[in-house]
Amino acid sequence: MKLEAVKIGAFTAPNNVFLAPIAGYSNAVFREMCSELGAGLTFTEMVSAKALCFGSRKTEELLYIGEGYRGLKACQIFGSDPQFMRRACESEALAPFDIVDVNMGCPMPKIYKNGEGSALLGDLKLAERIISECKKSGKTVTAKLRIGLGDGHYVTAAAARACEEGGADMVTVHGRTREKIYSGDVNYREIEAAKKAVKIPVIANGGIFTPLDADILMAKTGADGVMIARGALFDPWLFARITGTPEGDRRARVLKQIDDTVSVYGERFALVYMRKLAGFYVKGKKGAASARSSFFACKSTEELKDLVKAVF
């Protein structure tokens, strides 16, 4: 794919290969790692606007930014009340962030049934009001949406226009409906429809696990860039291969990720989290199943590091 800078409101991402907000995974250490491997923009996992307004310490912890992070700072918030969304944007917790993304795509029942996430696709006037209120905070505002709630009920172009009319500076389109969750083929035509409907940048999301996947998604949608989610969990070095960034020593990078995660989040969290990621990273390698079993049997991060040294 052709690498280009992307102007997003008052800011410019150095390239058009982004890391998606990934619930439970895109913490500060992982975001910094992906940025070093070439990601032009990384997002925090989604956080509740209401929780931020009520000063939830646990929610604010999801927004931690490492001292070494030098890229644009972007977070994602979710909610259905325009006033709470604006207050969240104006909160001290979001003060360090350059860009705030509005979640209009989360398909999970708990979020959807509360009228949040992808439920906003069923009320585009509300979605537009939410973005308009968020813009009043003075923040650069983007939105991430899906193509509709179910097959045959696509609202992609209309949703993108609603976002633009509300003042959004960029939209990302996940090319699946809410009911598909993460399964099924990506609908290129609907992402293309969004691109044709608005003048702001449109980023394509869904099904990127190789550089060729990114090439195809760009070619078939005409999007301004791509956003990678699950593909990054299994292979963060994918950013390097797409952008031409040196990968460096994989073993050293994973060991550093473990150490940094311990430093920021503590031993207990780091052990559980890095056992899962180490298991993801060996997918497709010879002996991967055995390696994953060994990772999950580790009782400490030091033991995990010893195994990483043996496997990578």
Helix axes 267-281, 301-311, angle to 10 degrees: 20
Q: How far apart are the first and last CA of the chain?
A: 29
* Residue that is written with structure tokens 């090439």 in the block: 215
The closest alpha carbon to 160, from 185, 193, 118, belongs to 193
106 part of the active site: yes
Tokens of 58: 């646990």
Separation of alpha carbons 212 and 208, rounded Å: 8
Do the beta carbons of residue 128 and residue 165 sit within 8 Å? yes
Q: Which member of 34, 75, 106, 163 is catalytic?
A: 106
Q: Active-site residue numbers?
A: 106
